[in-house]
Structure formats: structure tokens, C-alpha cells
Amino acid sequence: MKRSPIKKGKGFSVSSAQRAKVKDSVCIVCRQGPCDPAHLMRKRTLDKDGDARHIIGLCRAHHREYDGGRLDLLPYERMFAEEAGFAVELYGLVTVVKTLSNNRELLF
């Protein structure tokens, strides 16, 4: 599968540790490779430390769907439980559930 480049200036940069984390992995949704390093949470303050727990592996198509608000990652949470737990510690359960589900309207 030919990969289309992600345009510079969009999204967030990733550290070498974050890129290495998904180098040989498959997408958590479709189980196909190669994977992009996809940020679980969309906060501007995320990658100051380059911690690999901010990143999950998504194929290019699913990465675009998630970033575009069209993909709910909650059904796949068991595939990235460590990363989800890390996000909950930083941002709280409600914020993480709303972000992963791409549903900012959830009422708790």
C-alpha cells in the first residue's frame, strides 16, 4: 500500500521514541500496517516530553477519520489500555471518553 505524505504544519510533531513505538505495528482498528503515530488526545500541551504513551498506532485512513471526528476509538480501548489510562491520569475520565468517542456532547 502506498502511503500518502502528511502535510507539514498539520497536527503535532512526534519524538523519535513515539515514532519507534509504531514502526512495526498494525492499526488498532483494522489490524493492517503500516501505522502512523497518532495522538490519542488533541491538546496543544501534549508532547513537551515526547512520552510514547501519548501515541497509538493507526493506519493513515483511520488516523484521518479519528482526527476528523468520524471514528470512535472506545470499542478498541483494550488495544491501547496503557495509553488510555495514562490519558485519564492527565486529563480525567470524562475528557478522555469524550475525546476517544469523538462525542463532545456526552452527558455524565
Task: Evaluate if residue 95 carries a pLDDT over 70.
Answer: yes
What helix, strand, coil percent values describe the chain, rounded to 5?
Answer: 45, 5, 50
Q: What pTM did the predictor assign?
A: 0.78
Distance (Å, rounded) from C-alpha 19 to C-alpha 38?
A: 9
| Spatial separation of the C-alpha atoms in residues 7 and 49, rounded to whole Å | 23
Give the tens place of pLDDT for each residue, 52-90: 888 999 999 999 999 999 999 999 999 999 999 999 998
Other beta carbons less than 10 A from residue 41's beta carbon? 17
Residue count of the chain, please give it: 108
Residue 52 falls in which region: left (phi positive, over 0), alpha (psi -120 to 50) or beta? alpha
Residues 37-45 have a mean pLDDT of 76
User: Mean pLDDT throughout 27-40?
Assistant: 93
Query: Would you say residue 108 has pLDDT above 80?
Result: no
pLDDT, the chain, mean = 82
Q: Give the max Cα distance, the chain.
A: 42
Q: Residue 9: what pLDDT?
A: 45
Distance CA 67, CA 42 (A): 9
**8 A C-beta contact, residue 29 and residue 71:** yes
The mean per-residue pLDDT over the stretch 29-39 comes to: 93
